[in-house]
Structure 1
Amino acid sequence: MTMEVAESDTDKRQLHSKRKRGDDGDIDLSLLEAVERSHNTVEVLDLKTLKKLVFSFERRLKENIEARLKYPDQPDRFADSEVELHEEIQKLKVLSGSPELYPDLVSLNAVPSILGLLSHDNTDIAIDVVQLLQDLTDEDALEDNDEPARALVDALVENSVLELLVQNLQRLSESDSDEMAAVYNTLATIENLIEVKPTVSELVCERTKLLRWLLAKIRAKEFDSNKQYASEILAILLQNSTANQKKLGQMNGVDVVLQAVALYKSKDPKTSDEEEMLENLFDCLCCLLMPLENKERFVKAEGVELMIIIMKQKKSAYGSAVRALDFAMTKYPPACERFVDVLGLKTAFAAFMGKIPLNKRNKRERYQEELEERIVSLVASLFDGISRGSRRERLLSKFVENECEKIDRLMELYVRYSDRVKAETERLNQLKFEELEMDEDEIYSRRLESGLYTLQLIAIILGHLWCSEHPGMRARIENLLKLQKLTKKDVIDILQEYHDNIGDLDGPDEKERAQGRIQKFISAL
């Protein structure tokens, strides 16, 4: 039985069009015509066939190296070997259909030879190898083949695939569609490697200049598919790595991402792809805002002001700007103070009251719900970050104006989230009664996801308002609780559960401070 391994027209044009970087002279057209007419076949892949493929590839590689050394200034003398080498690389793509043979490919020591071609003088050969690597590491190829995938990825990383891929990326000018495709495939390969081996996300940033390349790419004003993909890869690299977040912050990354986002402060993306890129950029920004030092950089770069402008312009990035502000102000008083100083309260409380700009994107119910939860978190951060002085008074006064309408809104949210959490708690208790295996931590986690976390934040805001000792606000809260057949004890129970589940992720001192603050609310109520 045989399997066709045919070249695409693009592959032929890519190698044989007169694009040899650093080479002069013409390629033998008769040879190209022969390649066009040929059909290469290999037997269905097994170990024996794999050995034949690798042996043939190594032989053509050796011949190409020898021809280039013998005739360095006569491209027409080594053109034949280049075409034949290209053919062998194409044949190796059939391996992606048999990932169970990847450990054998590694043991045959073919990986160093393949990766060596990423530095080939002919960029087209390097592009061939990038396509091969993308195929071999593709998610579809590796499905249900975890061990073989790890064997290949480990070998690739040990043989400097990350360094070679990024070096190749840096020499691609994206001057034509082939190089554009090569950039995309390089990024796809890096993403595939991270999928198989998550530690690659930090290794690639330690060992290469990929972060610098990605920053340069997202800084470009013109939108294209590779800028979109660069934003996605950057978000992946930052997602679960404090080291990468800090490293990018030190590289002026906060400012660069803010500049990229600022292009959309008064306009919407033109396409769904561009919209996705903008979301990726905000994902990057929110990840960057995890370390404390990057929050400081965000404030210095006038990120707070930019987010408020985006909210005021009421474009599609409105919700993303709220999310970024929430990240910036969480446990960082200077951002909260700046927010009040630059008159952000009016904009934030318009959103708090449900005055959210509607467009085709944010009409979705889940979008509005997420935005609502973010705004509650933002207001809670403001109360936590501004403990005294005129800024605190300005914040508190928002809940008194217009006949305490914001307390009415707060209690409306309290009742809605309380009902939702009660329903979920009853459902989980029923599942537990039916002996479904769930421990207390899992039950608590599910309740948090169903709205308990937002309910806790609302209770904390109520605690801040109650501790202000403003008689009008206290009376309003008590009346509204009574109206809903609730008592202060209900709020205290929520606060107590929150108090008891505060972890020590930020250290024992921070845990004690947080618990002390909640205990103060409980005592006051």
Structure 2
Amino acid sequence: MDLPPPQKRKRSASPPPLQPSAAPIDLSLLEALEKSQQNTIETLDLKTLKKLALSLERRLNANTAARLKYPDNPDKFADSELELHDELQKLKILAGAPELYPDLVSLGTVNSITGLLNHDNTDIAIDAVTLLQDLTDADVIEDNDESAQVLVEALIENNAVELLVQNLGRLSDSDPDESAAIYNTLSTIENLIEVKPSVSELVCEKTKLLKWLQARIKIREFDSNKQYASEILAILLQNSVANQKRFGQMNGVDTLLQAVAMYKSKDPKTGDEEEMVENLFDCLCCLLMPLENKEKFVKAEGVELMIIIMNQKKSCYGSAIRALDFAMTNYPPACERFIDVMGLKTAFPAFMVSILYKAMGFLCIVPLSKKNKKKHSKEELEERLISLIASLFGGILRGSRRERLLSKFVENECEKIDRLMELYMRYSNRVKAETERLNQLELDDLELIAVILGHLWTSEHPRMRARIELLLKQQKLTKKDVKDILQEYHDNIGDLDGPEEKERAQSKIVKFISALK
């Protein structure tokens, strides 16, 4: 089964809370300020934009001149930096008129804003980050795709990506303002990727963002920025083989294994921490797509760790199964290690259990979107276990390990064959009932079950064959029904892994079909 990388988008972590003000808030003043801002936004036009842009340039030039004239006397340029701060704050109203972004670019203002990311005064750099975060916010640019593209292209041309990451290096969580700026920087990078997906590879190729994120998730203590770092890393790895290989070469597999190992015998304390752990497992599954990273996973005893997590039956249970499935898909050494370290004793009880622990979930692979979060379910876990067992049969073709795998289907009066046929009937009935709006995942699961039945049948074990025939007869089915599913699976095998692998996989299915006479 060709498994796409996990593609899930978590809601963004909240920025660090601001300290409460000691003075009481005058609500009437706030209301008046809000009303004045709304009126300003309503009248924002090209003329107003030009005034704002010109004012920014004047303040920027004044600040630059003052710094050059009095490099060792901050008091001499402090006022100019306060004025520059005010101008950057004024530009935030542009988020209310994204249709003016092309004009902002043509005026050269984007170049000036980007340059301020590298300002010697960290507070000014933070102002620039906050402004860019506001201008690129998904809610702002949602219905202005063309304008957003123009803005993002200009930011890239002016090295905003590189400067944003450089700025991360001088920010610290010990300062509340800088901690909030870290969040806003990550948010801006995420927004850029949302508009222009190729930024995900660009930022890893030209900056040290991966290294920064790696260091961040190594920190044992949980905070909102560690959560957001795990989300950004998942986004960077999700569809990029180049990034997956690059992070793998940075010892990324071991980093992620150490990060999730913290939760092998304990559950996350909060919902935000739980999301972070799920993000980390998403990263791990993405990283396990390239063959060389599967090898690193096995050498780092990742198989053993996932089995330990499963045995602990904590909230990471399903995520561990998901990671094992990715590691074992088209990689026999992982399948062999799984059997050698008694993984069958862990996987098959889960396969047989009809009512699973409430916390035993995993995140289904779904497209990333800001509002798309799929909850865990017993059925999704069943689907992942089906895939894992199919991977075992595909990776263990002969020898004592194969015998140990097959023997699991004979023990306890062939109860696992009964369970397999139960699942086969469930998915078969759904496929028949929902032909017009067929869920492709359900068809994939039905095909995988048929493949497992093919493996069992070609073992030529008399008890297995007798049990399969009996159960088919009880459901008024024949071997031809299984052969038809296998034929469809055969016809749908792609050549993503190369023509030789496709031919090998199809040849195996042909043998199953021929054996089911």
Normalised by the length of structure 2, the TM-score is 0.89
Distance 1:362 1:237, change over 3 A: closer
Indicate the residue corresponding to 1:448 in structure 2: 440
Amino acid at match of 2:378: Q
Indicate the residue corresponding to 2:470 in structure 1: 479
Q: Is the 8 A contact 1:260 1:281 kept in 2?
A: yes
Q: Which structure's relative contact order is higher, taking Cα pairs within 8 Å and 6+ residues apart?
A: 2
Amino acid at match of 2:181: A
Amino acid at match of 1:497: E
Larger mean CA deviation between 66-75 and 40-49 belongs to 40-49
Where in structure 2 are the equivalents of 1:207-226 lying within 5 Å? Answer: 207-226=206-225
Q: Is the 8 A contact 2:317 2:361 kept in 1?
A: no
Do residues 381 (structure 1) and 387 (structure 2) align? no
Deviation at 1:355, TM superposition (A): 5.9
Q: Is the 8 A contact 1:408 1:480 kept in 2?
A: yes
1:403-446 alpha-carbon deviations (Å, 9 max, x no partner)? 11111111111111111111111x45xxxxxxxxxxxxxxxxx4
Indicate the residue corresponding to 1:488 in structure 2: 479
Deviation at 1:360, TM superposition (A): 5.1
User: 2 CA distance for matches of 1:357 and 1:178?
Assistant: 44
Deviation at 1:385, TM superposition (A): 0.1
Indicate the residue corresponding to 1:415 in structure 2: 425
Do residues 369 (structure 1) and 375 (structure 2) align? no
Do residues 402 (structure 1) and 412 (structure 2) align? yes
Amino acid at match of 1:457: L
Indicate the residue corresponding to 2:334 in structure 1: 335
Deviation at 1:320, TM superposition (A): 0.4
Indicate the residue corresponding to 1:16 in structure 2: none
Indicate the residue corresponding to 2:496 in structure 1: 505
Indicate the residue corresponding to 2:346 in structure 1: 347
Distance 1:194 1:261, change over 3 A: same
Where in structure 2 are the equivalents of 1:186-201 lying within 5 Å? Answer: 186-201=185-200
Amino acid at match of 2:440: L
User: 1 CA distance for matches of 2:388 and 2:297?
Assistant: 16
Q: Is the 8 A contact 2:319 2:361 kept in 1?
A: no
User: 2 CA distance for matches of 1:346 and 1:253?
Assistant: 29
Deviation at 1:359, TM superposition (A): 2.9
User: 1 CA distance for matches of 2:354 and 2:265?
Assistant: 19
Q: Is the 8 A contact 2:285 2:326 kept in 1?
A: yes
1:299-327 alpha-carbon deviations (Å, 9 max, x no partner)? 01110000000000000000000000000
Do residues 60 (structure 1) and 69 (structure 2) align? no
Where in structure 2 are the equivalents of 1:303-318 lying within 5 Å? Answer: 303-318=302-317
Residue identity (%): 76
1:89-126 alpha-carbon deviations (Å, 9 max, x no partner)? 00111111111111111111111211111111110010
Distance 1:180 1:366, change over 3 A: closer
Picking from 443, 451, 474, the partner of 1:460 is 451
1:312-353 alpha-carbon deviations (Å, 9 max, x no partner)? 000000000000000000000000000000000010001110
**Equivalent pairs, count:** 473
Unpaired segments ≥5 residues, structure 2: 1-17, 22-32, 363-373
Q: Is the 8 A contact 1:102 1:148 kept in 2?
A: yes
User: 2 CA distance for matches of 1:206 and 1:320?
Assistant: 29
Which is greater in Rg?
1
Unpaired segments ≥5 residues, structure 1: 1-9, 14-35, 429-445
Deviation at 1:175, TM superposition (A): 1.3
Picking from 509, 514, 525, the partner of 2:505 is 514
1:231-267 alpha-carbon deviations (Å, 9 max, x no partner)? 0000000111111011000110111011100000000
User: 2 CA distance for matches of 1:221 and 1:447?
Assistant: 40
Q: Is the 8 A contact 1:254 1:297 kept in 2?
A: yes
Deviation at 1:502, TM superposition (A): 1.2
Q: Is the 8 A contact 1:314 1:357 kept in 2?
A: no
Report the 3-state secondary structure (helix = DSSP H, G, I; strand = E; otherwise coil) of the residue aligned with 1:337: helix
Indicate the residue corresponding to 2:301 in structure 1: 302
User: 2 CA distance for matches of 1:355 and 1:484?
Assistant: 20
Distance 1:487 1:366, change over 3 A: farther
Report the 3-state secondary structure (helix = DSSP H, G, I; strand = E; otherwise coil) of the residue aligned with 1:334: helix
Q: Is the 8 A contact 1:350 1:356 kept in 2?
A: no
Larger mean CA deviation between 251-260 and 353-362 belongs to 353-362
